Amino acid sequence: MKITQADYVISAVGPAQYPTDGMPEIALAGRSNVGKSSFINKMLNRRNLVRTSEKPGKTQKLNYFMINGAFYFVDVPGYGYAKVSKKDKEAWGRMLEAYFAERDALSAVVHLVDLRHPPSKEDIQMHEFLTYYGHPVITVATKADKISKSKYQKHKQIIIHDLGLKADDALILFSSLNGTGKEDAWRALDPFLH
Ligand code: GTP
Ligand code: MG
């Protein structure tokens, strides 16, 4: 994928701020700190377009990025961050529910999980939630640079089993550090960008 344009557009907290141009949207889902913002940067060859952080909870709104004048990446706040208050968690839940349940422009969801660990309860719930709403889900197992290649197959099988992925469900091994899986991810996304 040749990236000719990648621009921050808006941080939305609800439908009133969503873009109205009808361009397809690719949303990122996954636990806090799994690497959603880093994924977008790597895919776009941009170091700092999307702010990342070692501390979880960096992304707090639906951040829209227009790519090549053709589609959006939507960076979504992560789940599973223990230090968030109950009130904030509920607000997050409402914002995400409204987005994933009602957004017609949403074309596909990239669900990031950590290749090193079995999916968490929340990872499994998120996968069920997304498929319940009928969204195409591309599962990306990231931080692949952090384990040895000899463990890839075993860890992949655990993710497939725990999330209940079917034979034709996409599962891509990825690293935002070294670019592993980048071309595979673009290939998986391609049908949803038009
Ligand atoms: P929230 O915005 O809090 O939901 O987090 P996020 O999912 O956007 O995570 P972010 O991209 O900010 O990355 C979190 C931390 O993980 C940062 O320190 C990144 O540098 C690191 N990280 C992300 N992806 C990778 C990866 O593939 N490999 C390695 N080694 N580190 C990664
Ligand atoms: Mg983020």
Pocket test for ligand 1, best of 33, 88, 113, 122 (most atoms within 8 A of CB): 33
Fold classified for 6-192: Rossmann fold (3.40.50)
> For 139-179, what is each residue's pLDDT tens digit?
999 999 999 999 999 999 999 999 999 999 999 999 999 99
178 CB within 6 A, ligand 1: no
> For 109-126, what is each residue's pLDDT tens digit?
999 999 999 999 999 999
Q: Where are the domains of the chain?
A: 6-192
The string of DSSP codes covering the chain is -----EEEEEEESSGGGS--S---EEEEEEBTTSSHHHHHHHHTT-SSSS---SSS----SEEEEEETTTEEEEE---B--TTS-HHHHHHHHHHHHHHHHH-TTEEEEEEEEETTSPPPHHHHHHHHHHHHTT--EEEEEE-GGGS-GGGHHHHHHHHHHHHT--TTS-EEE--TTT-TTHHHHHHHHGGG--
Say what the pLDDT of residue 28 is: 97
Which ligand 1 atom lies nearest to the CA of residue 144? Answer: 27
- Does the model's pTM come out above 0.90? yes
Dist CA 62 CA 18 (whole Å): 9
Sign of CA dihedral 39, 43, 45, 46: negative
Compute, in angstroms, the gap from residue 166 CA to the centroid of ligand 2.
28
80 CB within 6 A, ligand 1: no
Answer whether 44's CB lies under 8 Å from 67's CB: yes
Output the residue whose Cα is nearest ligand 1's atom 24. 35
Which ligand 1 atom lies nearest to the CA of residue 53? Answer: 12
> For 39-56, what is each residue's pLDDT tens digit?
999 999 998 888 888 877
111 CB within 6 A, ligand 1: no
List the structure tokens of 140.
């990306």
Work out the percent of the chain whose per-residue pLDDT is above 70. Answer: 98
Which ligand 1 atom lies nearest to the CA of residue 57? Answer: 3
Output the residue whose Cα is nearest ligand 1's atom 5. 33
Q: Stretch 65-86: mean pLDDT, rounded?
A: 90
